[in-house]
Structure 1
């Protein structure tokens, strides 16, 4: 544990500074102004662990797919001790569902963030025109 002490302290300092400066520790929200596709999964996971299914669903319904995905990975990895195409299919479905949910829930923020990025790129290009 001693070897990780500096890394833990440095990580805490960086996260604390990000929270103070930007009011969030999410790099995607800081850089692009929009949440990441996994937004809410940590809260949802906590609510699953504490058996609050409805709150978990409200935060991010894909948590149940991720739990199934992780469970199937553990089963094939440690019980069957083999690789499985079934897990790959479940992983693709879970990632796809996560991105679909993301696009549906944050469509306004994604559009606003995309337009902001276009404006920024255009402005940056104008700076380099001679």
Structure 2
């Protein structure tokens, strides 16, 4: 699926990447997806490209993520960096969020309601950032 919304997915585990793609297919109408396996690769990619959204799978979070995020995305044009809670690495994800380095949106597949709440939160974030137009 291709579209005007560019999403960078950072996921080491192929299963997490596949689950993330499936969730994106369910939640976003049209997007272009780029996938990298490490935060270091993501930083290199971000230096050359300007995605609308960065999703980081919990298992791909380095222990120093909060500091790395702050140093690499302080640019005012930075895209929303959303830590996606899909399994391992949840504690690091929560720590990154509580330190203000990223937005933390649980897109867990535990229940349809939890998944819908996660997509609603992501949609609000994208609308606030001007990535997708406001409703109305």
TM-score, length of structure 1 as denominator length: 0.31
Higher-Rg member (1/2): 1
TM-score between the two structures when normalised by the length of structure 2? 0.30
